[in-house]
C-alpha cells in the first residue's frame, strides 16, 4: 500500500462557491467560400471580387480573395506588384506551396489576397491527369482557419475565376459553398448563363453536392439606356429571387480605380459604385443569415 500524504482541504471552498473556469475559447468556423464565376469575359467578375471583398472587410468581415485567373487582374487591382508574388495560387494548386505562404495583406484592413501569376495558365497541363485535379483548391482551403484565434480567422473567401469553364473554375466550384454570378447589363447577358448553370449542376452531382447559386449580380447598369432596363427586367423574370436587389451601375470611378492599384471604395468612397458595392455586401450578409436559418 502506498503511503499517500493526507491533503488538507480545509481552505478549499465548498463546490457551490467554486469560481467557474473561464469559458472555452469559441471554436472558429470554416469561412464561407464564394466563387465569383461566369465564363463570359469582361462581365465584372474581378471588379466584383475586389470591391465586394473590400466592402465586406469594411463592415467587419475578414476576407481572403483567391486570384484564380492567370491574368492576375485581382492581384494587380489590389496593388500587388509582380515581384512580391513569391508564392502564387499556381504553386498552391500544383502542391508546391501552402496557401498560407501565398497570402499577402493589402492596403485594406481585414482584406488579404492569394495572388496569381501567368504560370496558372499551365496548370491544366501540369495536373490535368491527376485523380485529385478538381480538388486542389478545396484541399488547400481546408486548413485555412485551423489554429487561428477567433477574430483572426477568415469569414469569407472570394474566388476570382477566369473567363472559362476550365479546370481552374471547376476547382473553384468544387471548393465553394456557393457561386456568385456577375451578369453585365448588355444585350447578350443571358447568353451562356444556361451553360454556366448546367456546369454548376454537373459539379453538384459529381464533385460538390452542397454547391448552390448564391445570387446573380447585375453589373455596369446604365439607367439612361433602355437596353439596360430591359436586361434587368428579363434577368429578374428568368432568375427570380436569385437576382440581388442591388444593381451595380456603370461608373467611371469603378473602372479608374484598378489603374491606381486600389479598390473603388478606397479610391472614391462616395461615388455611386462604392455605395452599390457596400449595399451588395450588406445584402449578401443578409442572404447568408436567411440561408443559415432555413
Ligand X SMILES: Nc1ncnc2c1ncn2[C@@H]1O[C@H](COP(=O)(O)OP(=O)(O)OP(=O)(O)O)[C@@H](O)[C@H]1O
Q: Which residues bind ligand X (CB under 6 A)?
A: 41-47, 69, 71, 73, 163, 219-220, 248, 250-251, 254-255, 258, 273
Which one of the spans 73-81, 208-216, 249-257, 286-294 is the region binding Mg ion (CB under 5 A)? 73-81
The site partner of 214 among ligand X, Mg ion, none (C-beta below 5 to 8 Å per kind) is: none
**Partner from ligand X, Mg ion, none contacting 171, C-beta within 5 to 8 A by type:** none
To ligand X, the closest distance from the beta carbon of 246 in angstroms equals 12
Q: For residues 46 and 117, which CB has a smaller minimum distance to ligand X in the complex?
A: 46
Report residue 269: phi and psi, to 5°.
Answer: -60, -30
Residue 28 or 257: the one with the smaller Cβ distance to ligand X is 257
45 lies in the site for Mg ion, by CB under 5 A: yes
Entry field: residues in the chain: 294
Q: Is 46 in the site for Mg ion (CB under 5 A)?
A: yes
What is the x/- site pattern for Mg ion, positions 169-198, by CB under 5 A? ------------------------------
Residue 86 or residue 260: which is nearer to ligand X going by CB? 260
DSSP collapsed to 3 states, the chain: CCCCCCCCCCCCCCHHHCCCCCCCCCCCCCCEEEEECCCCCCCCHHHHHHHHHHHHHHCCCCEEEEECCCCCHHHHHCCCCHHHCCCCHHHHHCCCCCHHHHCEECCCCCEEEECCCHHHHHHHHHHCCCCCHHHHHHHHHCCCCCCCCCCCCCCEEEEECCCCCCHHHHHHHHHCCEEEEEEECCCCCCCCHHHHHHHHHHHHHHCCCCCEEEEEEEEEECCCCHHHHHHHHHHHHHHHHHEEEEEEECCHHHHHHHHHCCCHHHHCCCCHHHHHHHHHHHHHHHHHHHHHHC
47 binds, among Mg ion, ligand X, none (CB under 5 to 8 A by kind): ligand X
C-beta of 141 vs 248, nearer to ligand X: 248
In angstroms, give the least distance from the CB of 193 to Mg ion: 17
CA 16 to chain CA centroid, nearest Å:
48
Q: Rounded CA gap, 34 and 157, in Å?
A: 6
Dihedral sign from CA coordinates of 234, 240, 246, 252: negative
Choice between 44 and 263, CB closer to ligand X: 44
| Of residues 136 and 250, the one with the C-beta less far from ligand X | 250
42 binds, among ligand X, Mg ion, none (CB under 5 to 8 A by kind): ligand X
Least CB distance to Mg ion at residue 69 (A): 5
Minimum gap (Å) between residue 253 Cβ and ligand X: 8
* Nearest approach, Cβ of residue 127 and ligand X (Å): 22
Regarding 112 and contact with Mg ion (CB under 5 A), the answer is: no
Nearer to ligand X, 140 or 280 (CB): 280
Q: Which residues bind Mg ion (CB under 5 A)?
A: 45-46, 73
Amino acid at each position: 500500500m502506498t503511503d499517500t500524504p493526507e491533503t488538507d482541504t480545509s481552505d478549499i471552498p465548498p463546490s457551490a462557491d467554486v469560481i467557474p473556469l473561464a469559458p472555452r475559447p469559441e471554436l472558429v468556423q470554416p469561412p464561407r467560400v464564394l466563387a465569383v464565376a461566369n465564363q463570359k469575359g469582361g462581365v465584372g467578375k474581378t471588379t466584383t471580387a475586389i470591391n465586394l471583398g473590400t466592402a465586406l472587410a469594411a463592415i467587419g468581415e475578414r476576407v481572403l480573395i483567391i486570384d484564380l485567373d492567370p491574368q492576375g487582374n485581382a492581384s494587380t487591382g489590389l496593388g500587388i506588384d509582380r515581384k512580391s508574388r513569391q508564392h502564387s495560387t499556381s504553386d498552391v494548386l500544383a502542391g508546391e506551396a501552402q496557401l498560407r505562404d501565398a497570402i499577402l495583406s493589402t492596403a485594406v484592413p481585414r482584406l488579404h489576397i492569394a495572388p496569381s501569376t501567368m504560370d496558372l495558365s499551365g496548370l491544366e497541363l501540369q495536373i490535368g491527369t491527376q485523380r485529385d485535379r478538381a480538388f486542389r483548391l478545396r484541399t488547400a482551403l481546408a486548413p485555412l482557419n485551423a489554429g487561428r484565434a477567433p477574430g483572426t480567422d477568415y469569414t469569407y473567401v472570394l474566388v476570382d475565376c477566369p473567363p472559362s469553364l476550365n479546370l481552374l473554375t471547376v476547382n473553384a466550384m468544387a471548393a465553394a459553398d456557393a457561386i456568385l454570378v456577375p451578369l453585365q447589363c448588355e444585350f447578350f447577358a443571358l447568353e451562356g448563363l444556361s451553360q454556366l448553370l448546367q456546369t454548376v449542376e454537373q459539379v453538384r452531382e459529381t464533385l460538390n453536392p452542397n454547391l448552390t447559386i448564391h445570387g446573380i449580380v447585375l453589373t455596369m447598369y446604365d439607367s439612361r439606356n433602355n437596353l439596360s432596363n430591359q436586361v434587368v427586367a428579363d434577368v429578374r423574370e428568368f432568375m427570380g429571387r436569385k437576382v440581388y436587389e442591388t444593381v451595380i451601375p456603370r461608373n467611371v470611378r469603378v473602372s479608374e480605380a484598378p489603374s491606381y492599384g486600389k479598390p473603388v471604395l478606397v479610391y472614391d468612397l462616395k461615388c455611386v459604385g462604392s455605395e452599390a458595392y457596400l449595399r451588395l455586401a450588406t445584402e449578401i450578409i443578409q442572404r447568408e443569415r436567411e440561408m443559415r436559418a432555413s
